[in-house]
């Protein structure tokens, strides 16, 4: 997937968005006028949901804390600069708890748009809770700032009311993993994935890339996203004598996976999972350092530290400042993703000629390829899916006090040589 500025799909969408944005500025009936022709609002209201309980709470709450941190920091400086009015305007965060329920989220997304009349709509964590927001936002012509929903099926060039701010489309995540496995001449690969857009996209990409390298998985198995017992499946996979076992799931899936693997007495030469690299502290607490030793995961911020940025704080500065503003808050990739969402909103407001939703979408598109944040280069394709913000491969190494996670692939980002097979 290419997000090159000269690509035909991108140019076409940009042209359409530009025309719509210009019309929005010039048409009084739209309710949005060019700077200076309408009194500026007292505040910019950002509406979002969070999961205070349920299966997505461990991911959603840190993400919400990161967005809250951004709101507090911009308000401490007088608000966010809004080009449409040529001034800084305070930001207010209007939020509701969806309790990890898609039905509750559906109702609350509608309430934010139709009752609260928010200026900016931000999705809750992940593909599952974001999926129900997409048709609602499109129906009401409201741009959905998608924080961490990355399933490729969620994006369409026909829907200009969605943009991915803080996570690369999951169809691209496994590219370095496939390259790593092929470079190590791993031939017998078993793949297990939870049946949702996020995990299935990764499984499909991995299987396709491995097949292109002449490797056909000995297992390619889906399980319900609610799965918390892998005991039987682990023994089924072991019977295939795999050299590598890849498990794509959410954090609850990964925790159950490692707990069952430890209890089974089974051992595989290579194990890869997603969430130890995104929510390291949680996985260490619930699965244990011994279970994670020598396993592989994704290397993402804050493990990968982008400090040369064009907007906002770099990783090192963020890790220092976040606890001052949000004492006791969890610091992990999700926290950074929430803050990164705020930065994208900030730059869209600073460059859009109006608060019209398509004008904002056009402004975000114009940022693509021209902005670097603490997640790396920001780049979206014609459908609004994130194709920048790369992830790499990391491995857990035992230490005297537990384990340490270090990038191992590709070589130009490695901080340690990979150990394969696991001792």
DSSP 386: B
Q: What is the pLDDT of residues 320-370, one digit of tens each?
A: 999 999 999 999 999 999 999 999 999 999 999 999 999 999 999 999 999
User: What's the average model confidence in pLDDT over 23-33?
Assistant: 37
State how far the Cα of 177 lies from the Cα of 133, in Å rounded to an integer: 31
Length of the chain: 423
Domain boundaries along the sequence of the chain: 8-170+304-378, 175-300+392-413
Q: What is the pLDDT of residues 238-276, one digit of tens each?
A: 999 999 999 999 999 999 999 999 999 999 999 999 999
- Report the topology of domain 8-170+304-378: Rossmann fold (3.40.50)
pLDDT above 50 for 30? no
pLDDT above 80 for 372? yes
Percent of the chain with pLDDT over 90: 90
What residues contact residue 323 under an 8 Å CB cut-off, 6+ apart? 329, 331
State how far the Cα of 223 lies from the Cα of 398, in Å rounded to an integer: 31
pLDDT above 80 for 124? yes
Domains 8-170+304-378 and 175-300+392-413 in one fold: yes
Percent of the chain with pLDDT over 70: 91
Q: What is the pLDDT of residues 143-201, one digit of tens each?
A: 999 999 999 899 999 999 999 999 999 999 999 999 999 999 999 999 999 999 999 99
**Pairing mode, strands 80-82 and 87-89:** antiparallel
The CATH superfamily holding the domain 175-300+392-413 is Response regulator (3.40.50.2300)
Closest CA to 294 of 265, 268, 275: 268
State how far the Cα of 315 lies from the Cα of 30, in Å rounded to an integer: 39
DSSP 171: T
Structure tokens at 254: 């990964």
pLDDT above 70 for 4? no
Please answer whether residues 201 and 422 qualify as being in contact, where contact means their C-beta atoms are separated by less than 8 angstroms.
no
Confidence at residue 36, expressed as pLDDT on a 0 to 100 scale = 46
Widest CA span in the chain: 71
**Pairing mode, strands 91-97 and 44-50:** parallel
Long-range pairs of 12-15 with CB within 8 A, sequence gap ≥ 24: 12/382, 13/157, 13/160, 13/365, 13/382, 13/383, 14/362, 14/365, 14/366
State how far the Cα of 26 lies from the Cα of 374, in Å rounded to an integer: 36
- What confidence category does residue 39 fall into, taking pLDDT thresholds of 50, 70 and 90? confident
Confidence at residue 37, expressed as pLDDT on a 0 to 100 scale = 53
């Amino acid at each position: 997937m290419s997000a090159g500025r000269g690509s035909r799909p991108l140019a076409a969408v940009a042209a359409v968005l530009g025309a719509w944005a210009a019309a929005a500025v010039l048409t009084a009936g739209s309710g949005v006028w060019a700077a200076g022709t309408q009194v500026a609002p007292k505040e910019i209201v950002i509406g979002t949901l969070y999961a205070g309980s349920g299966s997505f709470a461990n991911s959603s709450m840190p993400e919400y804390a990161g967005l809250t941190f951004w709101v507090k920091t911009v308000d401490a400086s007088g608000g966010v600069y809004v080009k449409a009015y040529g001034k800084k305007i305070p930001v207010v965060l209007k939020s509701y708890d969806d309790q990890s329920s898609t039905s509750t989220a559906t109702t609350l997304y509608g309430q934010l748009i139709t009752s609260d009349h928010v200026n900016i709509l931000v999705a809750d964590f992940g593909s599952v809770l974001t999926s129900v927001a997409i048709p609602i936002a499109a129906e009401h012509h409201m741009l959905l700032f998608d924080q961490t929903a990355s399933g490729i099926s969620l994006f369409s060039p026909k829907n200009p009311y969605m943009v991915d701010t803080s996570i690369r489309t999951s169809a691209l995540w496994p590219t370095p993993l496939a390259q790593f496995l092929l470079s190590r001449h791993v031939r017998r690969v078993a793949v297990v994935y939870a049946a949702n857009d996020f995990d299935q996209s990764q499984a499909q990409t991995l299987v396709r890339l491995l097949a292109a390298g002449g490797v056909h998985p000995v297992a390619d198995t889906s399980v319900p996203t609610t799965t918390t017992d892998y005991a039987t499946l682990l023994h089924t996979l072991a019977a295939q004598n795999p050299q590598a076992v890849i498990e794509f799931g959410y954090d609850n899936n990964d925790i159950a996976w490692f707990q069952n693997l430890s209890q089974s007495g089974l051992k595989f030469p290579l194990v890869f999972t997603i969430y130890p690299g995104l929510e390291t502290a949680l996985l260490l607490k619930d699965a244990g350092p011994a279970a994670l030793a020598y396993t592989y995961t994704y290397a993402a911020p804050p493990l990968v530290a982008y400090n040369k940025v064009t907007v906002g704080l770099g990783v090192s500065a963020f890790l220092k400042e976040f606890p001052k503003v949000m004492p006791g808050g969890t610091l992990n990739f999700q926290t950074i993703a929430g803050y990164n969402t705020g930065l994208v909103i900030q730059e869209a407001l600073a460059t859009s000629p109006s608060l019209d939703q398509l004008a904002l979408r056009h402004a975000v598109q114009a940022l693509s390829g021209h902005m670097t944040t603490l997640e790396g280069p920001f780049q979206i394709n014609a459908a609004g899916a994130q194709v920048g913000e790369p992830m790499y491969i990391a491995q857990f190494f035992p230490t005297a006090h537990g384990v340490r996670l270090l990038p191992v692939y590709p070589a130009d980002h490695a901080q340690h040589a990979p150990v394969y097979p696991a001792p």
